[in-house]
Structure 1
Amino acid sequence: MKNDITQKNIKKLKKAILVYNPKSGNANMILSNFDLITRKLLEKGITLTLYSISWDYDLFTEILKNEKYDILILSGGDGTLSRCLSELYSKNIEFPEVAIFPTGTSNDFSKALNIGENIENWIEKITEKTAKYVDFGLINNKTVFLSSYAGGLFTQISYNTDKTLKKTFGKVAYYINGVGELTNIKAFDLNIVLDGNEKVKEKAILFVILNGKGVAGFDNVIDDASMNDGLMDILIIKNIDNLLDVPKILMDLMNNNLTDNDYTRTLRAKKCKIEKVKEDINLSIDGEEGGNMDVEIEFVEKKLKVFH
């Protein structure tokens, strides 16, 4: 062991808890590499506790309420991360410094932070980097999202795609399901109020509130977006009158050129209110199913520190 843990410095040990979702895409990576993770962290003076989550998060929050941890390692996809942080936020439990092991199928947040794609990268972020402040979205003052809040076309693909397909084919499974959506485009009336005064009305087929540049595997949907400015970026895809224009929108999306497309509109705000959409649309919160309702969304800065 490179750094021996002696009796003299044992009181200086940091404590980390690794919370993992056994049903996420690559959860087996955690168990198969647990000895490696434990050893590498201990070499840097960090002890590790492993905790497996289920749909019941009460015990998880009770542990962090009653036990002081310096580092919270969250393993899973975007949905797992945001659900864990939502539970802590709703119970007024201060966030420890957060590290991410992106073992889910949808990992937009970790990709935006350049967390890396293997276990050595993830461990190195904790042992060699310093945690830095990152914004997060807050829905109705209780639900945290880290990457995106979206409504309309494509938004149900993540939570409707078969889990076996996700594990076997990864993102390809999403794209396969997405093609079918193009034959069923539904427009809806979108009403947003930005920062308490600016009213925005659009006939839209999709809106996405972004934390950072990318979403759904696309790296630079909004190129000048930031994850630490306290502002949300809103992308609206307007109703498409001519279906022959759909391929152009998709090509612009793939080429990171949406801002030059006539069917798109981008906005930026600290807070916004979105009216419940009268039409029947799908909503997603970090790739997990959400409800169509009146929402108030704000971006919170300088409360969440993440190793990246």
Structure 2
Amino acid sequence: MRKRARVIYNPTSGRELLKKQIPDILIEYEKAGYDTSAFCTTPEPLSAQEEADRCTKDGFDLIVAAGGDGTINEVINGISPYEPRPKLAIIPAGTTNDYARALMIPRYDFVKAAQLIHKGQTVHMDIGKVKTSSENKFFMNIGAAGFLTEVTYEVPANMKSLFGSLAYFVKGAELLPRVGKVPVKITYDDGVYEGVASLVFVALTNSVGGFEKIAPDKTLGDGQFTLIIVKTTNIAEILRLITMLMNDGKHIHHPKVLYKKTSYVKAETQNNQQLMINIDGEYGGDAPAEFSMYQQHLEIVTDLDRMHLSINTHDLMTEEKEEDFIKQVSKLENNEEE
């Protein structure tokens, strides 16, 4: 009996080029031995998640998430509660495509991403689960809080489409003067941090918001979150940290950064101050938030050869975007000094 695959795709992703290539994508999975069908998501909330849920219950062997990180997050939430679970393949067609970047999945050629199925290579990936007052969901890449998470909410959709992840860099520079002090209590496996923080990251991969070195020593599937707390709200110090981040991940050694490996995180605020939680680029409720680890929970199609060979490479397009961002923040730093 032939295996079954379902391609769940967002028709607005990839500047609407993705939907034009769905027939070619389907052919690749058919060649790989799957009876393959497609589902076009709708504007209704959780459209991709509900379809992934249905297909998992129906015993599909492979689910393909085609779209941005938001679509992938929904598909993962549809798959993850069940046992057994189908394999997951990814066709990245979003703005930053952080998850595909971490897994070395081609990000600028939809058909080439689909062709990875022919290599027969997979990786077992950790995922996290976050619980807030309003959410209880899985996430595959990042849980975050603090001023930079506002970037995701404030970049207009048309700006994302035109400028890609550069839009996030520019908006981040604009938001720097608005950095505020948030008194937090962060509990993790080996201790507790209580004090002021401008940023809190709970990361599952090394790639967040187009930055590839947030967690430079991250090992995929190790059952550990990378917890990063930026313990300063000083603009000049934050600018230096961003520069160090772009310079081979040296930010992790800065005295104003707490950098830990942990399987559990609880984020709370003091004085009842609001702290919004960002989950894979979308609003995920307010603190208090608990993050739990599900080690090697999903089997994902990838290119293991490229992952091993490309461990120390740096994407040229990302370098160009980082240079643009540095120019933006340098202007702010100069204004601050004046």
Q: Say if 2:238 is the partner of 1:249.
A: no
Deviation at 1:246, TM superposition (A): 3.3
> What does 1:97-246 align with in structure 2 at a 5 Å threshold?
97-117=87-107, 118-140=109-131, 142-195=136-189, 198-241=191-234, 243-246=235-238
**Partner Cα separation in structure 2 for residue 250 and residue 218 of structure 1:** 10
Task: Determine the structure 1 residue equivalent to 2:65.
Answer: 74
SS of 1:101's equivalent in the other structure is strand
**Partner Cα separation in structure 2 for residue 259 and residue 62 of structure 1:** 38
Q: Please, what is the CA RMSD of the aligned residues? A: 2.1
CA contact (8 A) 1:106 1:287 kept: no
Deviation at 1:31, TM superposition (A): 2.1
Task: Determine the structure 2 residue equivalent to 1:271.
Answer: 264
**Partner Cα separation in structure 2 for residue 18 and residue 264 of structure 1:** 41
Structure 1: stretches of 5+ with no match in the other structure = 1-10
Percent identity between matched residues is: 22
SS of 1:291's equivalent in the other structure is strand
Give the partner amino acid of 1:36: D
Instruction: Write out per-residue CA displacement over residues 145-178 of structure 1, whole angstroms, 9 at most, x where no aligned residue.
Output: 1110000011021232111111111112112211
Using the size of structure 2 for normalisation, the TM-score is: 0.80
CA contact (8 A) 2:145 2:200 kept: yes
Give the partner amino acid of 2:218: A
**Partner Cα separation in structure 2 for residue 212 and residue 33 of structure 1:** 29
Q: What is the aligned counterpart of 1:51 among 2, 27, 39?
A: 39
Task: Determine the structure 2 residue equivalent to 1:3.
Answer: none
Using the size of structure 1 for normalisation, the TM-score is: 0.88
Task: Determine the structure 2 residue equivalent to 1:35.
Answer: 23
**Greater mean alpha carbon deviation, residues 227-236 or residues 113-122:** 113-122
Give the partner amino acid of 1:23: T
Q: Hey, which of these two has a bigger chunk of helix by percent?
A: 2
Instruction: Write out per-residue CA displacement over residues 217-236 of structure 1, whole angstroms, 9 at most, x where no aligned residue.
Output: 11112211122001000111
CA contact (8 A) 2:53 2:79 kept: no
SS of 1:124's equivalent in the other structure is helix
Q: What is the aligned counterpart of 1:305 among 281, 299, 304?
A: 299
Q: What is the aligned counterpart of 1:19 among 2, 8, 33?
A: 8
Distance 1:43 1:246, change over 3 A: closer
SS of 1:230's equivalent in the other structure is coil
Distance 1:59 1:214, change over 3 A: closer
Task: Determine the structure 1 residue equivalent to 2:310.
Answer: none
Task: Determine the structure 2 residue equivalent to 1:258.
Answer: 251
Instruction: Write out per-residue CA displacement over residues 224-252 of structure 1, whole angstroms, 9 at most, x where no aligned residue.
Output: 112200100011111234x3333312211
Distance 1:22 1:257, change over 3 A: same
Structure 2: stretches of 5+ with no match in the other structure = 303-338
**Partner Cα separation in structure 1 for residue 181 and residue 120 of structure 2:** 45
Number of aligned positions between the proteins: 293
